[in-house]
A = this chain, B = another copy of it.
Amino acid sequence: MIVTVVGIGLIGGSMAISLKESDWASKVIGVDKNQSNLDKAIRRRLIDEYLPIEEAIKQSDLIILSIPVDSITKVLPLVLNQITDQIVIDVGSTKSQVVDCIKAHPKRGNFVATHPMAGTEFSGPEAAIPNLFDHKCTVICDKEDSSESALTIVKEMYKALKMNIVYLNSKEHDIHTAYVSHISHISSFALALTVLEKEKDESRIFELASGGFSSTVRLAKSSPAMWIPIFEQNRDNVLDVLDEHISVLSKFRSLLIKKDFDSFNEMIEEANSIQKVLQKK
């Protein structure tokens, strides 16, 4: 299987490593608008060669779009215009606008909308790592709009990445990810800003930062180039969750003001039950 990865960053680069390592891909071609990413990808041996996108598409069996979601909606229709029987997938973090942009395309069946739920707070080809996807969950959206043969190959590919497949429609996907991913990022960005603001007066504040702080602000290192388009495309769902999150925080605030620590205690006990959920994973 010859695979083209468009966008050799954290996700595309990590897929390139694992697909080649598992022998599922005989060759990985890199495409990136940034030449320095391609140079790094060659040096790190993430890809076998790089080519202009038109040429890469011609030579490939499968094309993976691992670029920010605003670029997917621009690039995906152009890619579908150029394929014959190749299969195309995207790995973006939002799905509704992605599937909408090629809804009526004659090659819609060759496309599978996917979202491997894996990542780190780092970006670029230097962030690509082996085993990033092992035993994690990937979503395939609106599978009834993809051809059986395309689905079969994409399922095989995710098995080669050792991922578990979950099927959702794209609207459900976008609601779910607002809860289990997008809000975590907003919370982390906000926490970093809250504390950085204080740091201006108190330069020593971070000497005291321990593991708990680092873990809650880890995602605040995430790249705006990736996340702004996600918040743009999933704005309505993110707003709903953000409203809920602010309202829970405001409830904590009001309990502190009233010194109602019994109710505060109950809320923490309720929050503790997240443990059972995380243990299942």
Chain A residues near B (Cβ < 8 Å): 117-121, 136-137, 139, 166, 175-177, 179-181, 183-199, 202, 204-224, 227-228, 231-232, 235, 238-239, 241-246, 248-250, 252-253, 256-257, 259, 261, 264-265, 267-275, 277-278, 280-281
- Complex-state Cα separation, A216 to B190, whole angstroms: 12
- Chain B's closest residue to A252 (CB) is B186
Q: Which of B198, B228, B265 is within 8 Å of A228, CB to CB?
A: B265
- Chain B's closest residue to A242 (CB) is B253
Q: Which of B208, B241, B269, B270 is within 8 Å of A117, CB to CB?
A: B208
Identical copies in the complex:
2
A interface majority secondary structure: helix
- Complex-state Cα separation, A235 to B196, whole angstroms: 21
- Complex-state Cα separation, A273 to B224, whole angstroms: 12
Contact across chains for A190 and B249 when beta carbons are under 8 A apart: yes
Contact across chains for A211 and B242 when beta carbons are under 8 A apart: no
- Complex-state Cα separation, A275 to B175, whole angstroms: 29
Contact across chains for B213 and A180 when beta carbons are under 8 A apart: yes
Contact across chains for A177 and B212 when beta carbons are under 8 A apart: no
Contact across chains for B196 and A274 when beta carbons are under 8 A apart: yes
- Complex-state Cα separation, A195 to B246, whole angstroms: 12
Which residues of chain B have C-beta atoms less than 8 A from A281's C-beta? 206, 209, 214
